[in-house]
Amino acid sequence: MQLKSIGSFFVGGRTVTLAGLPVEQRRLAIGAAPRPVDPNGDHVTGQMYVQEYRLTAPRAPFPVVFWHGGGMTGANWETTPDGRPGWITQFLEAGFDVLVCDAVERGRSSWSMFPQIYEGAPLFRTKNEAWDMFRMGPAGSYATDPALRQPWPQVQFPPEAFDAFACQWVPRWVGHEAVTEAAYDALISRVGPCFVVGHSQGGGFALQMTQRRPADVRAVVALEPSGAPAAEGISSALPPHLVMWGDHIAEHAVWTRYRASVDAYLADLRRHAVPAHTLDLPAEGIAGNTHFLMMDRNGAQLAERIIAWLSAVDH
């Protein structure tokens, strides 16, 4: 990979001034005497971290922007938990400039005091919940001991890498949609025309952004989006949409509901003559894909499908 630049920047954010909070006596190093720590003053909140890889000679017409899902960071798109090159590498090698976000309050975007700035505490996802929610195996098939876990037959996620994957998970807050969307808006304003690839919660944000900024989002790819925007925002000016789904949706009530809402949204897009394609992997005979398509064993083939689709769409 011949790169012109590797870097990062922040978008969004505002300063909140806290006052009237008690100065605490805190021990700042093991064995040290407590000293005063004053939380009063100016804090930044709502900023978003963006990593940017620019090729010396990009071949794609626009950069691709990756938006991870809930409780994750941009690390999702790097090396897979079992050590294979991730989609950042694959898209760079395919000639795309690449931008990768850590959503607001996650990873390098930092997070803010609660209850002083955020209303309350975040959610932490257990491995137990994730195993089920990410469709690694049937409900209740998680066990602390990896040898006792029962993944779906033909599962595409490497089950032996599930614990390594758990290292990537970060806490997440709920109800922060507005500040998150404001930061994504600031990003799109800075980047200009681009392709957006969003996963799960990030896929929902990508679909919403496409409604708000159809001139900048030249094509959108939503990987198992956890919800769709209101149909009222659809116009024939929207760019092409691709939505991808893995296996075992029908066995999971939450995913069945998400999928139904997205299917209905895509039908509405088509009624407005917006190109909207659903890539249903099991319907094509590809079994075992989990919620984390980009980390699945066939993830490189799935990225190739997306790259081919982006190359063929009329943007």
Binding residues for a copy of itself, rule: CB under 8 A, are 1-10, 13, 15, 17-18, 26-30, 37-44, 47, 49, 51, 53, 73-75, 78-79, 83, 85-86, 88-89, 92, 102, 107-108, 110-113, 123-124, 126-129, 144, 163-164, 166-171, 174-175, 177, 227
Q: Which is closer to a copy of itself, CB of 62 or CB of 169?
A: 169
Q: 3-class SS at 137?
A: coil
Measured from the CB of residue 16, what is the shortest distance to a copy of itself in angstroms?
A: 10
What is the enclosing helix (H) or strand (E) of 42? strand 41-55
End-to-end CA distance of the chain: 26
Q: 3-class SS at 183?
A: helix
Say if CB 158 and CB 184 are below 8 A apart: no
Q: Which is closer to a copy of itself, CB of 229 or CB of 288?
A: 229
Q: Which is closer to a copy of itself, CB of 88 or CB of 266?
A: 88
Say if CB 224 and CB 291 are below 8 A apart: yes
- For 16, 69, 182, 207, 236, the CA distances from 201, given in Å and listed in that order, are 27, 4, 15, 10, 24
Q: Which is closer to a copy of itself, CB of 81 or CB of 288?
A: 81
Would you call the peptide bond into 115 cis, given omega within 30 degrees of 0 as the criterion?
Answer: yes
Measured from the CB of residue 6, what is the shortest distance to a copy of itself in angstroms?
A: 6
Measured from the CB of residue 314, what is the shortest distance to a copy of itself in angstroms?
A: 31
Going by the DSSP 8-state scheme, the letter that residue 43 receives in this structure is E
Q: Which is closer to a copy of itself, CB of 76 or CB of 156?
A: 76
Measured from the CB of residue 198, what is the shortest distance to a copy of itself in angstroms?
A: 16
Q: Which is closer to a copy of itself, CB of 44 or CB of 313?
A: 44
Measured from the CB of residue 180, what is the shortest distance to a copy of itself in angstroms?
A: 11
Measured from the CB of residue 176, what is the shortest distance to a copy of itself in angstroms?
A: 9
User: How would you classify the pairing of strands 64-67 and 41-55?
Assistant: unpaired
Integer Cα distance of 217 and 235 in angstroms: 14
User: How would you classify the pairing of strands 194-199 and 64-67?
Assistant: parallel
